[in-house]
Amino acid sequence: VIDFHTHGMPSDMLPDEFYLARARALLSSGRTREKDVGRIIEKIRRNGDDPKVENLTSDLKAAGVDHAVLLGIDWGLLGDSGTGMHPSEQLAFGLEAVRDSAGFFSFVLAVDPRRPEAPQVVAEGLTHPEVIGVKLYPPAGFAPHSSECLPIYDLVIESGRFAMFHTGRQSYPFLLEHGRLEPYSAVQRLRPDLKIVLAHAGAPFWGEEAIEVAKGHPSTYLEVSGWHAMLDTDEERVRRMLIAAWATLGPDRVLFGSDHLSGARAGVRVPAIRAWWDMFVATAADAGLSVDDVDRAAQGLIRS
């Protein structure tokens, strides 16, 4: 079992703007009062805190995961204050997490390409074998085919690693338009040799678009975390998405992911991760694929 999308972090990895927006969203929905905003921010922060990724590790192991990809998050340019953990600090954090894990984790370095120093940070990150790819988060406010991204893609291509992108759902203060799939056609044309991992495969809005944009480009992969959020309400839709992805792309370009974040509370989502993996493998079997088949895409990207 390889989980290609997991999160564990000290809570100050995320910028203040993110916490403030989440607290204000609760406020506007009438669930809390203005004077409580500060307290709510602290509570959200505390809940997300897992600085040594101990809770994440124990959750994933309890769910039966054998290897996991730990992702950084650089939303540092979401606002103007420059809060949040700098990508070079995230690199140090990720390297330590991988080394402490005895081979359980690989790390993906997150960087906002609008940082002037982004190419240097990426170049430094890619010198470490623990760093298997680079993650960009376009909904933080940039298009994936914009010029500031290109030096990063060139470094990624040169290193043989992959670039991973958040696609699909996101809300204020993020830009949902940069969660859309169409711009990746332009990325493919600008840098045909880039290995592209479309995280969440457009979940929950743009599954067909994700498959279509991946179809014609042999090194575009879909990572399907996020689709599992519909398992309770519309399992058939999730099933159709997986079957269509495998039918069009084959098993070599579809990646399993949980998007799991334990935060300060271990254990809560373990059965859900297990159920998602079981559903994923059972659906693969219906599509004529074995467990070895469905892990091949992840093994290839982790090894290269």
Positions touching Zn ion (CB under 5 A) are: 259
Going by DSSP bridges, is the β-strand pair 105-110/2-7 parallel, antiparallel, or unpaired? unpaired
**Would you call 223 helix, strand, or coil by DSSP?**
strand
Residue nearest to Zn ion (CB): 259
Query: How far is residue 129's CA from residue 245's CA, in Å, rounded to a whole number?
Result: 30
Q: Which is nearer to Zn ion, 191 or 228 (CB)?
A: 228
Q: How far is the CB of 261 from Zn ion (least distance, A)?
A: 7
CB of 5 to Zn ion, least distance (A): 6
Nearer to Zn ion by Cβ, of 170 and 248: the residue is 170
Compute CA distances 173 → 25, 67, 129, 142, 299, whole Å.
10, 33, 34, 13, 35
- Closest distance between Zn ion and the C-beta of residue 216, in Å? 26
- What are the C-alpha distances in Å from 167 to residues 51, 125, 136, 143? 26, 23, 10, 11
Minimum distance of Zn ion from residue 2's CB (angstroms): 16
Whichever of 75 and 184 has its CB closer to Zn ion, that residue is 75
> What is the β-pairing status of strands 67-71 and 162-166?
unpaired
- Residues 253/235, Cβ–Cβ less than 8 Å: no
For the bound state, the minimum distance from the C-beta of residue 12 to Zn ion, rounded and expressed in Å, comes to 18
Coil/strand/helix, residue 163 = strand
User: Which of 113, 139 has the CB closer to Zn ion?
Assistant: 139
- Cα distance between residue 285 and residue 283, in whole Å: 5
Nearer to Zn ion, 131 or 261 (CB): 261
Q: Which is nearer to Zn ion, 59 or 259 (CB)?
A: 259
φ/ψ region of 74 (left if φ > 0, alpha if ψ in -120 to 50, else beta) reads beta
Query: How far is Cα 12 from Cα 83, in angstroms, rounded to an integer?
Result: 8
Closest CB to Zn ion among 3 and 259? 259
CB of 278 to Zn ion, least distance (A): 21
Gyration radius of the chain over CA positions: 18
Q: Report the Cα–Cα distance between both ends of the chain, in Å, rounded.
A: 18
Find the shortest distance in angstroms from Cβ 34 to Zn ion.
30
